[in-house]
Chains A and B, each alone.
Chain A
């Protein structure tokens, strides 16, 4: 046992990961006990599941932005794919005798696979591009996914599935039909409510996947590409393979978040509010404010930024304004050469100040 403790003490990465997991579990226990004690208001209860899917979104986006080092502005598109996977699946099976939990669990696996597939498909063209181009193309893909899901009509009858882009009136359907997606009206009649426990389990799974990935041969290869693509190639790293891998896993996890999101709704629609690039950018704000590349930072920033506007009405109307200012300020303070020089000077001053004190 003491050997185990020693091995944790000597491994800083492991320590840091354990803190992250501990944080999530403590947060879960606090929320659950507050809910059990009846202290939690209804609006707060609604927030619990939001914490979960936003954390999964932020952590998975951080995998692309912070670890792979490419800016994706279409992350909400993968969430959309996950959400619609669940929506369609739940709608089609709603008359069957599968339990809701079973539907949710199967949807989670399906959504992870389908979102990963789309991530892979989109990754092929996207990851050949660099920087701004990559960002704008991911944005384009996100918008396409949002647009297509928002204008698709799918119905089912005894002849099978029917698709249309113009409306259900276009389809020749039996009297005994089931409209699955009703275009912009989306998927209606879903059972809302996913348990916070399931959400927390998914958050923990996400963290395990991402953190274990980072601290491995694969993660090192991905970060090597981020830090210096040319050197990575010269060192024998298969750049395309590892870029794809990171991007696909990131997409897959966003699909899982989508299931959680859709599972908490009774009507699922695809609009610019929930799956547009503004959502992708909001998740990006969580990632940036938590610290690009810092997984724990993403978790903390998400919790604070989801909670804050709900708790402080005053903050709510200025929320986006404050985000914007903080975003700009953080970038300038962290990246501008003069701000960096100033910071280093201050750190040295504090350090030397300490030394002087010690000498005395």
Chain B
């Protein structure tokens, strides 16, 4: 019998800043392997929802379950360990480090040796570092970044920086990948390429993805389900085409 438990189950998630309810009664259920889009006008609370999911903010109410495990109110680092990795709207790379090192930091919790082993350069250091390098290079190859492995991250062109951020997130071996406006600032060609990459990693890594996006072409092109946020509330939810044809959604986007 197939396991029907959803990968991510969010119930009644809310947060208030002062008197403002930035996210109110947010519900979402994502099954394993789905590519889910979270859309909505500016200031609708999309990034806040991401920040709630990743423990940057503590929710005022609600429950978040990842693969059956209650992760509500946990710290960012523990949520990452539990299996959620993310990218940021305004790219947050480790700028002064190389492309390779950025990915190796993503591998941090999967490959271990002690600090003492590092200082004394014990055999475990060399062995594990070699494994880390191989694993990181494999990931970089997927994103076509292997040639830039030794470049400083801040020297990458914009589109590649976005890709590197996704590669770093994948390196933590997540169950769920959150992408915050992955196509922001990209030209149509780059966006097209990004869509292919997202589809590819979904297949290659058997990944479940939740993404925030403004680019409707991207959203309708690859997401099979959508959730629309407006003023912190869920306006509509369901299969992509259904949601996009929902008159309320059209009103929220185009105005009355």
Q: Is the CB of B94 within 8 A of A223?
A: yes
Q: Is the CB of B94 within 8 A of A231?
A: yes
Q: How far is the CA of A253 from the CA of B210 in the complex (A)?
A: 46
Nearest 3 pairs between A and B by C-beta? A216-B118, A231-B92, A236-B80
Partner of B119, one of A12, A212, A220, A221: A212
A239 in the interface (beta carbon within 8 A): yes
Q: Is the CB of B54 within 8 A of A234?
A: yes
A317 in the interface (beta carbon within 8 A): no
Residues in A with CB closer than 8 Å to B97 are 220, 223-224, 227
> With contacts A213-B115, A221-B105 known, is A230 near B56, CB below 8 A?
yes
Interface size class of chain A, counting residues whose CB lies under 8 Å from the partner chain: 20 to 34
B88 in the interface (beta carbon within 8 A): yes
Task: Please report whether the interface of chain A is mostly helix, strand, loop or mixed according to DSSP.
Answer: helix
Partner of B93, one of A213, A231, A237: A231
The 8 A CB mask of A201-244 against B (1 = contact, 0 = none) is 00000001100110111111101101110111111111100000
B235 to chain A, nearest CB (A): 28
B85 in the interface (beta carbon within 8 A): yes
Determine the residue in chain A with the shortest Cβ distance to B174: A236
Ordered by A's residue number, 17 sampled pairs between the chains whose C-beta atoms are within 8 Å are A212-B118, A216-B119, A223-B94, A223-B97, A224-B94, A227-B93, A227-B96, A232-B94, A232-B105, A234-B56, A234-B85, A234-B86, A235-B168, A235-B169, A236-B81, A236-B172, A237-B108
Residues in B with CB closer than 8 Å to A245 are 115
Q: Is the CB of A239 within 8 A of B105?
A: no
Interface-centre pick from A12, A213, A217, A223 (highest chain B CB count, 10 A): A217
B17 in the interface (beta carbon within 8 A): no
A38 to chain B, nearest CB (A): 39
Residues in B with CB closer than 8 Å to A293 are 96
Interface size on B, residues (CB 8 A): 38
Q: Is the CB of B94 within 8 A of A217?
A: no
Residues in B with CB closer than 8 Å to A237 are 77, 105, 108
Determine the residue in chain B with the shortest Cβ distance to A237: B108
19 new A-B pairs (CB below 8 Å) besides A12-B150, A220-B97? Answer: A212-B119, A213-B119, A216-B115, A216-B119, A217-B108, A217-B111, A217-B112, A217-B128, A218-B115, A223-B96, A223-B101, A231-B93, A231-B94, A234-B76, A235-B80, A235-B85, A235-B106, A238-B77, A245-B115
Residues in A with CB closer than 8 Å to B168 are 235
Cβ < 8 Å to A, chain B residues 117-132: 118-121, 125, 128-129, 132
Residues in B with CB closer than 8 Å to A216 are 115, 118-119, 125, 129
A216 to chain B, nearest CB (A): 3
Q: Is the CB of B118 within 8 A of A219?
A: yes
Q: Is the CB of B92 within 8 A of A230?
A: yes
Residues in B with CB closer than 8 Å to A217 are 104, 108, 111-113, 118, 128-129, 132
Q: Is the CB of A236 within 8 A of B108?
A: yes
Q: How far is the CA of A113 from the CA of B88 in the complex (A)?
A: 41
Residues in B with CB closer than 8 Å to A220 are 97, 101, 104-105, 108
The 8 A CB mask of A159-184 against B (1 = contact, 0 = none) is 00000000000000000000000000
B211 to chain A, nearest CB (A): 16
Q: How far is the CA of A217 from the CA of B118 in the complex (A)?
A: 8
> With contacts A233-B76, A234-B54, A235-B85 known, is A224 near B105, CB below 8 A?
yes
Cβ < 8 Å to A, chain B residues 131-165: 132, 150
B95 in the interface (beta carbon within 8 A): yes
Residues in A with CB closer than 8 Å to B76 are 233-234
